[in-house]
Amino acid sequence: LHHFPEEEARRRAEEVLKFLHLFGDKDRLIRSYSRGMRQRLKIAQAIAHEPQLIILDEPLNGLDPLGRRKVIRLIRRLGEKGQTVIVSSHVLPEIEAMTKRIILIHQGKIFAEGNIHYIRDLIDTHPHIISIKCDRVRELAAALVKEPEVIKIFFTPDPQEIQVETQQRDIFFDRLQQLILQLDLQVEAITSPDDNLQAVFDYLIGEK
């Protein structure tokens, strides 16, 4: 399609097949390939002529976890080589694993652009949910409820977990650290379940 001489076309084909770890299977019939191998073969066809811009539509669709990881690593390697890769996908958590720059589009409108932390900063008035797992969780809840930066405290089905809603996350974490030391708590985990791309997207389009 790109009118390369036969020798050049063969060289490029071998190069991309090696890059995508398909060279050892080059003599197999394509119909015998797994779905993940076929996805990588499609990408090989797209990059054999070394384009500066690569557009991939749902490249992870239908792949098993191992296939997803391989394609994600591949996309990141293409970016590291200096090529621009645009990925269209509805699998938002996996988009985060592929790229540092994100554009959120809903019904043809761009709602936000930047990395996940920048997007989070844009909507910092949106309350954050912090999940805390520790011993004596009710004692911690009794102390936190007095803090002005705490909006609500939720008890979960896990007897050692609470979720705290706050609009001042940095202040909250500073105070939480102090309380953990004061109360001598054994903390198992502190997470922010809504600090991900899906939560940002849902909030921006008005679903939260």
Q: What is the per-residue pLDDT across 157-180, written as a single tens digit (0 to 9) for each? A: 999 999 999 988 889 999 999 999
Q: What is the pLDDT of residue 195?
A: 65
Q: Is there a contact between 44 and 20 (Cβ–Cβ < 8 Å)?
A: yes
Q: Where in the chain is the domain with CATH 3.40.50.300?
A: 6-99
One-letter amino acid identity for 12? Answer: R
Q: Where in the chain is the domain with CATH 3.30.70.100?
A: 123-204
Q: What is the pLDDT of residue 144?
A: 96
pLDDT above 70 (res 126): no
In angstroms, the Cα distances linking 169 to 148, 150, 166, 183 are: 12, 9, 6, 20
Torsion (CA) 27, 58, 196, 84 in degrees, nearest 10: 80
Answer CATH for 6-99 from 3.40.50.300, 3.40.50.1000, 3.40.50.150, 3.30.2130.10:
3.40.50.300
Q: What is the pLDDT of residue 125?
A: 58
Q: Is 164 helix (H, G, I), strand (E, B) or coil?
A: strand
Q: What is the pLDDT of residue 142?
A: 96
- Cα distance between residue 23 and residue 161, in whole Å: 50
Lowest mean pLDDT among 59-68, 106-115, 179-188: 59-68
pLDDT above 70 (res 135): yes
Q: What is the pLDDT of residue 161?
A: 96
The sheet with strand 161-166 has its strands ordered as 150-155, 161-166, 128-134, 187-191
- Cα distance between residue 169 and residue 166, in whole Å: 6
Q: What percentage of the chain exceeds 70 in pLDDT? A: 90
Q: Is 69 helix (H, G, I), strand (E, B) or coil?
A: helix
Overall pTM > 0.75: no
Q: What is the pLDDT of residue 163?
A: 96
Q: What is the CATH number of domain 123-204?
A: 3.30.70.100
Show Cβ contacts of residue 27 under 8 Å, excluding neighbours closer than 6 positions.
none
DSSP 127: P
